[in-house]
Amino acid sequence: MRRVQNGATTTDFEGVVAVNEVASSFCERTGRPVCTGTVIAPRVVLTAAHCKGQVPAELLGIVVGSEAVYGEGPVGYGLEGIWFAASSVTLHPDAEAKVPVDLMLMHFDEDLPVTPVPLATIDDTLVGLAATVVGFGGQADEGANVKQFGAVLVDELDADELRYTPDPAMTCSGDSGGPVLLETSDGWELASVTVRGDAACESHGVGPRVDAHTDFLGGL
């Protein structure tokens, strides 16, 4: 997997977490970073629906921090306090529609040890302005998926989706489900969730606007 292109590693953005899959065999109970997510409520993480694939909810979890190492899994493998298993997941009702809304909520039985990221309300004035993407795209040469961030430009905005272009960063594999953030006078706010882009990770990324799906997000 590849990481945020032209980005930099960071220990900030504590509300951005790695989404991991845990193998079902006890002998192979190891973590495999697959996506990125954002804590939007004390016990809720927002990510992309396609990150679930065919994996049962009980085999999904998150790693809080700046690094998600392949081969590390749940409590008992050195991740006490940063590994949290999902208790359930909720796919957007249109996640499998002809025109899908690629969003998923991960639910937890305990409060996560980070401050949730508030949702942004946006309008057409955002087009042409800067945003920040964050993700855990893999770094095979370093043996870990490391949190990366970088700058993009909001290129297009319609009623449902936001599109961004490099400035100079761009999201790539493993960054799916991660946030498109806006820096406001009140701090960082979540505008969109990365769900797709060009295969080369060079020209654009696209994600649903969170303010278009407040009913699904529980009115947060």
Per-residue model confidence (pLDDT) at position 92:
94
Assign domain 16-107 to a CATH class.
mainly beta
Query: Which residue is associated with the tokens 């997510």?
Result: 37
Q: CA-CA distance, 168 to 133, in Å (whole number)?
A: 11
Per-residue model confidence (pLDDT) at position 178:
95
CA 190 from chain center: how many Å? 11
Q: CA-CA distance, 51 to 35, in Å (whole number)?
A: 6
pLDDT over threshold 80, residue 27: no
117-211 is classed in which CATH architecture? Beta Barrel (2.40)
117-211 shares the fold of 16-107: yes
Q: What is the pLDDT of residues 185-198, one digit of tens each?
A: 899 999 999 999 99
b/e sequence 19-56, b meaning 16+ C-beta within 10 Å: bbbbeeeeeeebbbbbbbbbbbbeebbbbbbbbbeeee
pTM attached to this predicted model: 0.90
pLDDT over threshold 70, residue 74: no
As given in the structure block, the two tokens for residue 111 are 């409060």
How many CA atoms are closer than 13 Å to the CA of 117, on its beta-carbon side?
29
Which amino acid type is present at position 218?
Answer: G
Domain range annotation of the chain: 16-107, 117-211
Are the CB atoms for 135 and 150 separated by under 8 Å?
A: no
Q: CA-CA distance, 148 to 150, in Å (whole number)?
A: 7
Per-residue model confidence (pLDDT) at position 110:
94
Are the CB atoms for 211 and 193 separated by under 8 Å?
A: no
Average pLDDT estimate for 37-66: 89
Give the model's confidence band at 14: pLDDT under 50 very low, under 70 low, under 90 confident, else very high: very high
In three state form, how does the secondary structure of the chain look?
A: CCCCECCEECCCCCCEEEEEEECCCHHHCCEEEEEEEEEEECCEEEECHHHCCCCCHHHEEEECCCEEECCCCCCCCCCCCCEEECCEEEECCCCCCCCCCCCEEEECCCCCCCCCCCECCCCHHHCCCEEEEEECCEEHHHCEEECEEEEEEEEEECCCEEEEEECCCECCCCCCCCEEEEEECCEEEEEEECCEECCCCCCCEEEEEHHHCCCCCCCC
